[in-house]
């Protein structure tokens, strides 16, 4: 209400309802008279279930997933409904505190790669992909590179042996 009294719109942080365990936020708009004087305000509670529905079903690749965090580390959405309802406060995890502090990037945690981005409303989207899955293309290319290198090495070795034999024959 203080923001409205200052004639400024209000946009709350994401709040998790104690009753329903569902996320919401509050928007406020000041009401001014013709002279620009504060007369009151309108407050709206915005249910964020629609965001949950939009993001919770997003699968990333074959076995990755997306979840959203509020600015203080509470889940806004998570693909596992049980996790969302029973463990909404993710700020207790060290890697989540790191994510909230860094705001953008990629980190490793327990065999997963977590890529994250924080928007202007301080909501952080986190994409989780098992490290093994994320690195499969690299591993596939590693085998190809090793084959090429070993083939080139054999070719160089044969050429070196040929040169040594040629030198021995010419002497």
Q: Provide the whole-model pTM.
A: 0.65
Of the two residues 154 and 139, the one the predictor is more confident about is 139
Token pair listed for 105: 């990037």
Give the confidence band of 51 by pLDDT, cuts at 50, 70, 90: confident
- Residue whose pair of structure tokens reads 């909501």 in the numeric block: 123
Q: Between these two residues, 167 and 112, which has the higher pLDDT value?
A: 112
* Residue pLDDT, tens place only, 95-112: 999 999 999 999 999 999
Pick from 34-38, 55-59, 156-160: least confident: 156-160
Helix/strand/coil (H, E, C) string of 110-150? CCEEEEEEECCCCCEEEEEEEHHHHCHHHHHHHHHHHHHHH
Residues 6+ apart with CB under 8 A from 34: none
CA atoms within 13 A of residue 74's CA, in its CB half-sphere: 16
Q: Has residue 25 got a pLDDT over 70?
A: yes
DSSP letter at 72 equals T
3-class DSSP state of 58: coil
Spatial distance between the Cα atoms of 135 and 111, rounded to a whole number of angstroms = 11
Q: Given a cut of 90, is residue 87 above it in pLDDT?
A: no
pLDDT of residue 18: 81
Share of the chain above pLDDT 70, in %: 77
Is the pLDDT assigned to residue 135 strictly greater than 70?
no
């Amino acid at each position: 209400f203080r923001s409205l009294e200052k004639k400024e719109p209000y946009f709350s942080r994401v709040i998790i309802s104690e009753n329903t365990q569902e996320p919401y936020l509050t928007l406020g708009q000041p009401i001014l008279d013709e002279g620009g004087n504060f007369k009151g305000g309108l407050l709206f509670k915005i249910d964020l279930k629609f965001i949950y529905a939009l993001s919770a079903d997003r699968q990333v690749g074959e076995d990755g997933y997306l979840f959203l965090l509020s600015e203080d580390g509470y889940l806004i959405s998570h693909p596992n409904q049980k996790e969302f309802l029973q463990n909404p406060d993710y700020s207790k995890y060290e890697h989540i505190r790191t994510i909230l502090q860094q705001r953008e990037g990629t980190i490793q945690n327990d065999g997963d790669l977590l890529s994250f981005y924080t928007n202007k409303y301080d909501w952080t989207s986190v994409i989780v992909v098992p490290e093994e899955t994320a690195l499969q293309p690299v591993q596939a290319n590693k085998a190809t590179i090793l084959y090429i290198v070993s083939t080139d090495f054999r070719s160089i070795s044969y050429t070196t042996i040929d040169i040594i034999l040629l030198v021995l024959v010419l002497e």
